């Protein structure tokens, strides 16, 4: 009888040790899974904030660029060619640095992605460069063709910008994993 009591004690102790080992492994696994989930959530939050910041910077640069182009109304209000050319020249002087800032911001978007937003930012910058070259072509020109080309390019620039905003907004949306 003493032998059977000893065996029962040994089996009970081994069972307790095994259960303790299994419980500690499960707890460790759960803690690791929690740590991975927390780390991933933090990385996604940082990525989201970085993207939001770079998208906003590009939008700020586009606004500065647009502020220059909005002076076209002032050019149109001038009654003589010399005054128009003077304003157009001033616009050209200001638009170059605005595109430089836009170019820098576009490269930041390129780094943060995603690819479709990056491509849209690149397209916005390319359209801005086109507007700039057509703005320069207006100096000294009286015919309607250069102005029509400029207006068309500006509309394409705005369309590219609206596309960028839509893609950027979509990239920043928090998606429900259960949906």
Rounded to whole angstroms, how far apart are CA atoms 4 and 119? 78
Q: Is the bond leading into 106 cis (omega within 30 degrees of zero)? A: no
Mean pLDDT value across the chain: 87
In the predicted structure, residue 179 carries a pLDDT above the cut 60: no
Residue 4 in any domain: the answer is: no
Reading the block at residue 31, the tokens are 């803690």
Rounded to whole angstroms, how far apart are CA atoms 113 and 96? 25
Residue 103 in any domain: the answer is: yes
Q: 146: helix, coil or strand?
A: helix
- Please count the structural domains in the chain: 1
Rounded to whole angstroms, how far apart are CA atoms 67 and 63? 6
Q: Which domain covers residue 77, as residue numbers?
A: 48-172
pTM of the model: 0.75
Which residue did the predictor score with more confidence, 179 or 50? 50
% of the chain residues with pLDDT over 90: 52
Contact criterion met (CB below 8 Å) for 166 and 126: no
Alpha-carbon 51 to chain mean position? 4
Residue 108 in any domain: the answer is: yes
Residue 95 in any domain: the answer is: yes
Residue 9 in any domain: the answer is: no
In this prediction, residue 91 carries a pLDDT of 92
Residue 12 in any domain: the answer is: no
Residue 140 in any domain: the answer is: yes
Which residues lie below 8 Å from residue 101, measured CB to CB, with a gap of 6+?
61, 64
Instruction: Report pLDDT digits (tens) over 100-149.
Output: 999 999 999 998 889 999 999 999 999 999 999 999 999 988 888 988 99
Residue 94 in any domain: the answer is: yes
Contact criterion met (CB below 8 Å) for 172 and 52: yes
């Amino acid at each position: 009888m003493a032998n059977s009591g000893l065996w029962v004690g040994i089996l009970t102790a081994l069972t307790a040790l095994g259960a303790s080992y299994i419980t500690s492994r499960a707890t460790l696994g759960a803690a690791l899974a929690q740590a991975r989930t927390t780390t991933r959530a933090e990385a996604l939050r940082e990525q989201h904030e970085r993207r939001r910041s770079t998208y906003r910077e590009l939008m700020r640069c586009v606004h500065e660029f647009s502020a220059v182009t909005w002076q076209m109304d002032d050019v149109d209000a001038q009654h003589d060619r010399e005054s128009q050319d003077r304003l157009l020249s001033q616009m050209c002087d200001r638009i170059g640095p605005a595109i430089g800032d836009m170019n820098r911001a576009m490269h930041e978007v390129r780094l943060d992605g995603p690819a479709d937003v990056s491509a849209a930012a690149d397209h916005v910058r390319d359209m801005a460069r086109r507007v700039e070259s057509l703005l320069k072509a207006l100096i000294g020109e009286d015919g309607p063709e250069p102005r029509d080309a400029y207006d068309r390019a500006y509309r394409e620039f705005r369309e590219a910008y609206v596309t960028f905003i839509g893609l950027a907004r979509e990239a920043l949306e928090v998606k429900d994993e259960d949906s």
